[in-house]
């Protein structure tokens, strides 16, 4: 039987995780510039055909506004670190229940901090508007700058916690619809479970392969590749988080993770940079781990799978 046709047992990842959807609203500061508002010349002085142009302007320059955008990006980066890779839509994160309290605290801190950043932006808004009028010249349009209260109302954060599955009430409303939708949801969950397991295996494969290449590879000049502390920290963070993020009960990957964790505990970055023999030895072990995880990635089936609790 082809391995893609084989039926594999994968724990339902949604039993121990919850979805978090976060949407950050801002006042947009870019506007389209009408073609008849500008005159563009090429280097030879000839006019450029404005039909081929798509022009925008930034209404104002504000470090306070940029700080809000940075906070929005940072919370998403934080959620990406703890979320389980999944097929959920952009802006929705699959969070292990064991990490939920910590994640919720991060989100609340972000929301409160964002309010302070918004107020700092509002306080500097009038001055930024005056500076924009000077910089934009004829492209400045007063009607594009609402009152500060209207600006404040544009900023908001929406957070939704999402449980997966069908509402129990549906069964009492229509047994036929419930059976049909249950089968559809089950199929989607099974597909997502395999994708989640595959993403976890691919994630570790990429990390250990990169570490093996760094420790054993050479630059074009023949020198050893630079080992960065950030790479070591990133791998350690991934290994530490795996016990929470192994939602599909992947025992085979857990075995590789344990080997990688023990390997990382033996040495530190300074030792690997200064001890050539240790560097070569650890690099060879990482290369073997990379081969093992590559094999696990290749074993992930593309169809016909079932959850443990279906047996």
Q: Is the pLDDT of residue 82 over 80?
A: yes
| 284-301 per-position pLDDT tens digit | 999 999 999 999 999 886
What pLDDT band is residue 311 in, cutting at 50, 70 and 90? very low
Q: Is the pLDDT of residue 54 over 80?
A: no
Instruction: Classify residue 65 as exposed, middle or buried by CB count within 10 Å of its CB (0-12, 13-18, 19+).
Output: buried
Domain boundaries, given as residue ranges, for the chain = 16-162, 169-310
Q: Supply the pLDDT for residue 252.
A: 93
| 138-151 per-position pLDDT tens digit | 899 999 999 999 99
| 91-140 per-position pLDDT tens digit | 889 999 999 999 999 999 999 999 999 999 999 999 999 999 999 998 99
Q: Is the pLDDT of residue 306 over 50?
A: no
Beta bridge mates, 226: none
What is the overall mean pLDDT for the chain? 85
* Residue 10 contacts residue 248 (beta carbons within 8 Å): yes
Q: What percent of the chain has pLDDT over 90?
A: 53
Helix locations, 137-275, DSSP H: 148-154, 169-173, 175-216, 229-245, 251-266, 269-274
pTM for the whole structure: 0.74
**Integer Cα distance of 208 and 253 in angstroms:** 13
Q: Supply the pLDDT for residue 5.
A: 41
- What are the CB-based long-range contacts (under 8 Å, 24+) for 276-281? 279/215, 279/224, 279/227, 280/215, 280/216
Q: What percent of the chain has pLDDT over 70?
A: 84
3-class secondary-structure state, position 51: helix
What pLDDT band is residue 66 in, cutting at 50, 70 and 90? very high
Q: Supply the pLDDT for residue 7.
A: 47
Q: Is the pLDDT of residue 42 over 70?
A: no
* Residue 189 contacts residue 164 (beta carbons within 8 Å): yes
| 229-271 per-position pLDDT tens digit | 999 999 999 999 999 999 899 999 999 999 999 998 877 888 8
């Amino acid at each position: 039987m082809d391995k893609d046709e084989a039926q594999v047992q994968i724990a339902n990842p949604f039993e121990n995780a919850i979805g978090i959807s976060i949407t950050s609203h801002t006042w947009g500061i870019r506007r389209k510039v009408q073609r008849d508002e500008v005159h563009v010349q090429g280097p030879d002085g000839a006019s450029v055909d404005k039909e081929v142009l798509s022009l925008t302007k930034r209404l104002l320059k504000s470090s306070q506004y940029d700080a809000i955008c940075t906070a929005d990006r940072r919370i998403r980066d934080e959620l990406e670190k703890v979320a389980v890779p999944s097929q959920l839509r952009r802006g929705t994160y699959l969070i292990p229940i064991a990490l939920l309290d910590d994640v919720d605290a991060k989100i609340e801190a972000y929301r409160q901090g964002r309010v302070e950043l918004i107020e700092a932006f509002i306080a500097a808004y009038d001055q930024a508007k005056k500076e924009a009028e000077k910089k934009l010249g004829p492209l400045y349009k007063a009607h594009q700058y609402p009152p500060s209260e209207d600006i404040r109302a544009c900023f908001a954060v929406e957070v939704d916690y999402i449980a997966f599955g069908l509402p129990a009430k549906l069964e009492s409303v229509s047994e036929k619809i419930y059976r049909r939708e249950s089968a559809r949801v089950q199929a989607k969950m099974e597909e997502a479970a395999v994708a989640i397991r595959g993403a976890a295996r691919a994630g570790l494969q990429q990390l250990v392969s990169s570490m093996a290449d760094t420790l054993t590879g050479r630059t074009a000049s023949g020198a050893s590749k630079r080992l960065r502390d950030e790479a070591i920290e990133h791998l350690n963070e991934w290994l530490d988080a795996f016990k929470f993020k192994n939602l599909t009960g992947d025992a085979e990957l857990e075995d590789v993770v344990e080997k990688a964790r023990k390997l990382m505990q033996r040495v530190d970055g300074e030792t690997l940079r200064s001890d050539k023999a240790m560097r070569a030895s650890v690099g060879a072990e990482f290369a073997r781990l990379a081969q093992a995880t590559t094999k696990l990635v290749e074993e992930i089936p593309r169809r016909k799978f079932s959850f443990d609790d279906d047996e």
